[in-house]
Amino acid sequence: MRVAVLRLGHRPERDKRITTHVGLVARAFGADEMLLAGRDDKLVAGLEDVAERWGGDFRVRSVSSWKGEARRWKEAGGKIAHLTMYGTPLSETIGEIRKSEALMVVVGAEKVPAEIYEMADWNVGVGNQPHSEVAALAVFLDRLWEGEELEKEFEGKIEVVPSPRYKTVIERRGEDGV
């Protein structure tokens, strides 16, 4: 399944840390790309740098129209899951969502436009209490992949070797010594 995370409502002056964390979670928990509704070149470059150093095929791109991206996604046969505390419980929808071939996962920052509730195939409640969109995305992706994403090999320039007590990091150098 191809998975893209669409970040809505990013405000560069206010949301850079949370949006960065949305991107980091998307990458680490198995999404193929993050679409950023709006422009924040520094944030995009930072996430691309993480993907370059830590490995994987994760991509990040800014989009000028979230609505246009969502429409194109659906026209191409993809499905949309909008994460919200007002939706159908995750446990009731995840089985059906797993059948998708291409899935766009929408997470908001500020108030999400009502149109996304209409466009979404699923408005998924990851709990019904206030919490972070980062937490919602992590829980959703973990349930989507049934924990298998935690075993993924990224084959990057940097790798953390699991250890019960010590920090072990391997840094691989490329052919050019860097």
Q: What is the pLDDT of residues 90-127, one digit of tens each?
A: 999 999 999 999 999 999 987 889 999 999 999 999 99
128-to-87, 95, 122, 124, 154 alpha-carbon distances in Å: 8, 19, 15, 10, 33
Alpha-carbon span 31 to 34, nearest angstrom: 8
What percentage of the chain has pLDDT greater than the value 70? 97
Q: Which residues contact 73 (CB under 8 A, 6 or more apart)?
A: 4, 80, 102, 104
Q: Which of 43, 23, 147 is nearest to 94 (CA)?
A: 147
28-74: per-residue pLDDT in tens? 999 999 999 988 899 999 999 999 999 999 999 999 999 999 999 99
pLDDT reading at 9 higher than 60:
yes
